[in-house]
């Protein structure tokens, strides 16, 4: 997600190609909350988005779309 998914979603957001009001929920076994996931995403964008594509306002509004739900996908108990 760091190298490809988050930068690609950011690019769509920055180009105005994501619907207004769309939220993006990341999920994994990692023990993040929304704030921690946004920090993870910001670091990924800082590292993998070319400088000429970064816009502080677009990055900020993109990060506001991100949420996180911890889930171990190998166990059905977490899906509820």
The model's pLDDT over 31-54, given as tens digits with 9 standing for 90+, comes to 999 999 999 999 999 999 999 999
User: In which residue are the tokens 């920055």 written?
Assistant: 14
Rounded to whole angstroms, the Cα distance separating 36 from 44 reads 12
pTM of the model: 0.90
Model confidence at 25, pLDDT cuts 50, 70, 90, reads very high
Residue 35: per-residue pLDDT: 98
The tally of CA atoms less than 13 A away on the side-chain side of residue 18 is 16
Residue 56: per-residue pLDDT: 96
Q: 3-class SS at 35?
A: helix
């Amino acid at each position: 997600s760091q190298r490809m998914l988050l930068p690609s979603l950011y690019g769509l957001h920055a180009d105005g190609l994501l619907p207004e009001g769309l939220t993006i929920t990341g999920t994994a076994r990692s023990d993040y909350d929304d704030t921690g996931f946004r920090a993870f995403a910001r670091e990924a964008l800082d590292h993998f988005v070319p400088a000429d594509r970064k816009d502080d306002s677009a990055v900020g509004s993109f990060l506001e779309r991100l949420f996180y739900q911890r889930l171990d996908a190998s166990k059905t108990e977490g899906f509820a």
